[in-house]
Homo-oligomer: A and B are copies of this chain.
C-alpha cells in the first residue's frame, strides 16, 4: 500500500485549497476532457447521496418526486419572453439526431419551467387539483463562458433539485415561498452551513418571476455563494402556458406559481465552510464513513485486538451508523491522514492498552479526544457525533458573523468588503445600487431578511441619505 502524505495548501489560500481538496479527498476529478464538466468520485458521490437524501426527506413531507424530460423543444422554450432573454446565451442546443438535422432544435434544460408547465396546463382543471407541489432532482445545463469551477460554476449541473408548485392565489403562493425558505434553512442547519436570506433586487430576480429570495453563504475568501433560490412566479408562466383552474364559484382563473432550487453548490458550501488544512470536515449525517475504527496493532496481539475492534464495529453498526475498520498494513498515522482528508467525523483507536482496560480512544475530526468505556460505546458514539456537529455548526456560525459588518460610512465599505459582506442602508433604487457597485466592485445582493443579522429599525440610504432598508453588499461567486 502506498502511503499518502502530501499536504493541502493552507486554507487561507482558499482557491488553491479548494482545487486541491476536491481531488485529494476524492470528491471530484476535474480532468474530464470538456470544460465545465466534472466526474464524481465514489467518495464524493457518497457525500452527494447523503446530502440529497436529507433534502428529499425534507421535501417528501409535503412534496412528491417526479421526473420530466431533459430536452425541451425550442417552440416551448421560446414562449416566455423574459425567460428566454434570461437564458438565450446560456442554452445548449441539440440540432442533430444521427445524421439528420432536427426539425425543431431541442434545448438541454437550463431549468425546467418550460418542460413542466405545458404538462401542468393539462393536469390542472379545478381548484380541487391544487395545490400541486412537485420536485425533481436532475441534471441541467448552462453554456458558461466564464471561468468554470467544480460544484460552483458548471456546464452540467448534475444535481439540481427543483420544486415547482401551483396555487389558487398569490397569497397562497407567497406562503409556499416562505415555507420553502424555512425548508432550505432547515436543510442547511443539517449541513451545519450558516446562511443569509435576502430578497434579490428587481434586476437580479429570476427571469419571469415576481420576486426572488436567495439563500447565500459566505465562503472562506469572503465572497458570497448563492446556494438556493425561491421564486414567486405570480401568473407570468401560467398566462404563457395556459395553466387555468375553475375556482369555487365556477370561474376560470390563472394559477399562481412558485419554484425553488438547490444545486450541488450546497456541497461546495459544505466543503468550503467546514474543511481545514487537513481535509474535509463533514457533519456526521453526510459523512460516507461516520465512524472509523483503527486497530493499533503492536506485537503479537493482532487477533485479540481485531476481535475487540470487530465487536465495537458491530455495536456501532447496530446504531445504524456507517462504520469502517481500516486494517491495512500501514502506520496508524497514515490511516489518520487518509481518513481525516476524507472527513470522517469520529475515529476510534483500539490498541493493546485499550483492550486491557476495556477502553476505546475516540478522536473527533476537530481533535477533541475522549476516552470511552467499552460498555458505553453505543450511547457515547452517538453523543460524540452530535456534539461534534454542534461544535462545527457554532464555529461556522461564528465565522459567518465575524465577516458581516454593518457600515454607515461609505468610506469604510471597501476595507470591510475585503473580509466579507457588509450591511448598509439602501433606498431600493437602481441608481444608488449602481453607484455602490461602481464604487466597490461588489454587488447589492438585496434587502436582508434576517433581522437578527441586519438589526431592526429604520435606516437611511448610504448613498442618497433617504429612508431605506438594510441591504447586503458582497462580492459574489
- A156 surroundings in chain B (CB, below 8 A): 69-71
Quote the shortest CB–CB distance from A193 to chain B (angstroms): 22
Q: Which of B32, B48, B64, B89 contacts A119 (CB 8 A)?
A: B32
Binds B, one of A91-99, A275-283, A397-405: A91-99
A67 in contact with B158 (CB, 8 Å): yes
Is A118 on the interface with B (CB-CB < 8 A)? yes
Binds B, one of A7-15, A38-46, A345-353, A423-431: A38-46
A32 in contact with B65 (CB, 8 Å): no
- A1 surroundings in chain B (CB, below 8 A): 128
Task: Please name the residue on chain B nearest to A89 by beta carbon.
Answer: B98
Is A246 on the interface with B (CB-CB < 8 A)? no
B89 in contact with A108 (CB, 8 Å): no
Is A317 on the interface with B (CB-CB < 8 A)? no
B66 in contact with A42 (CB, 8 Å): yes
A118 in contact with B33 (CB, 8 Å): yes
Interface positions of A from 14 to 68, Cβ below 8 Å from B: 29, 31-34, 37-42, 45-46, 48-49, 64-68
- A415 surroundings in chain B (CB, below 8 A): none
Task: Please name the residue on chain B nearest to A33 by beta carbon.
Answer: B73
Quote the shortest CB–CB distance from A69 to chain B (angstroms): 4
Is A337 on the interface with B (CB-CB < 8 A)? no
- A105 surroundings in chain B (CB, below 8 A): 96
Interface size on A, residues (CB 8 A): 57
Which has the most chain B C-beta neighbours within 10 Å: A1, A38, A42, A46? A42
B96 in contact with A93 (CB, 8 Å): yes
B94 in contact with A66 (CB, 8 Å): no
B29 in contact with A69 (CB, 8 Å): no
B38 in contact with A64 (CB, 8 Å): no
Binary flags per residue of A411-437, CB closer than 8 Å to B gives 1, else 0: 000000000000000000000000000
The answer to whether residues A39 and B119 also contact, given A46-B65, A156-B71, A158-B67 and a CB cut-off of 8 A, is: yes
- A139 surroundings in chain B (CB, below 8 A): 70, 139
Is A90 on the interface with B (CB-CB < 8 A)? yes
Binary flags per residue of A75-109, CB closer than 8 Å to B gives 1, else 0: 11000000000001111111111111000111010
Binary flags per residue of A141-175, CB closer than 8 Å to B gives 1, else 0: 00101000000000110100000000000000000
Is A410 on the interface with B (CB-CB < 8 A)? no
Rank and list the top 7 A-B pairs by shortest CB-CB distance, nearest first: A97-B143, A42-B64, A37-B69, A93-B96, A40-B67, A89-B98, A95-B95
Task: Name 11 extra pairs, CB < 8 A, besides A29-B123, A98-B143.
Answer: A33-B75, A33-B76, A39-B68, A40-B67, A46-B65, A67-B158, A69-B156, A71-B92, A90-B98, A92-B96, A94-B94
